[in-house]
Amino acid sequence: MSRLLGKPAHQCFVYPHFDAALEKFAAGGIGPFFVLDEIGGMGDYRGEKHAFSAQVAFVYSGDACFEIIAPKPGGISAYNAFLESNPYGGLHHIAYYSDDFAATLAMMEREGRALEVVVDMRDPATDFQIEIYCEPVGADNPVLYQLMHPGMFDGWFEAMREAAATWDGSDAIRDARPLMMAALEGVGAGA
């Protein structure tokens, strides 16, 4: 799909047990993990608004970024639905950057790779469309595609990549917020 959508921003794996998932990735010697112990909010999932809550971690291996998510049990989200079909977890989505979601979806349709939006995440204050998750039309239990805007989190992702490149094996589990906030402040200062 990179031929059409470009270089992936990250790959996301969803698992039922967060700590076990981190251990699975750490066994390969990658790190450090940047963890958000609980994220949540409201999102449109298959056309209906639902609250969701999950634990999230990002980790780099070279230039490859992996996101690990464990949703709160009993929720209604794309992550929970994935675990219903894949109880042991696995690859949930691949994220790509897009300046214009509608144009990207139209291009995919022209290429014979039509996508259906299953998750629409918007800023509740402005209704700005932050990201969407799409599935190939007609596919059963597919890997989803996340489309996200470039720019806002680029500094944070670059800082995590740099931390992994110089990682000495210590402090393997880190709170993601300080690095994220520093990167976001840099975006605000440059605007």
189 has a pLDDT exceeding 50: no
Mean pLDDT over 35-49 rounds to 86
End-to-end Cα distance, the chain: 32
Domain assignments of the chain as residue spans, ordered by start: 2-190
188 has a pLDDT exceeding 70: no
Dist. CA 156–CA 178, nearest whole Å: 10
Give the pLDDT of residue 56: 96
Give the pLDDT of residue 106: 97
Give the pLDDT of residue 186: 62
Choice between 42 and 176, residue whose per-residue pLDDT is larger: 176
Give the pLDDT of residue 40: 76
- Among residues 32, 28, 11, 8, the alpha carbon closest in space to that of 160 is found at 32
Q: Greatest CA span in the chain, whole angstroms?
A: 48
Instruction: Encode pLDDT of 119-163 as tens digits.
Output: 999 888 888 898 999 999 999 999 999 999 998 788 999 999 999
Architecture of domain 2-190 in this structure = Roll (3.10)
Give the pLDDT of residue 11: 97
Dist. CA 123–CA 70, nearest whole Å: 22
Give the pLDDT of residue 191: 39
Least confident window among 77-86, 104-113, 175-184 = 175-184
pLDDT class of 112 with cuts at 50, 70, 90 = very high
What does pLDDT average to over the chain? 91
DSSP annotation of 47 reads: T
- CA 79 vs. chain centroid, Å, equals 11
Give the pLDDT of residue 190: 43
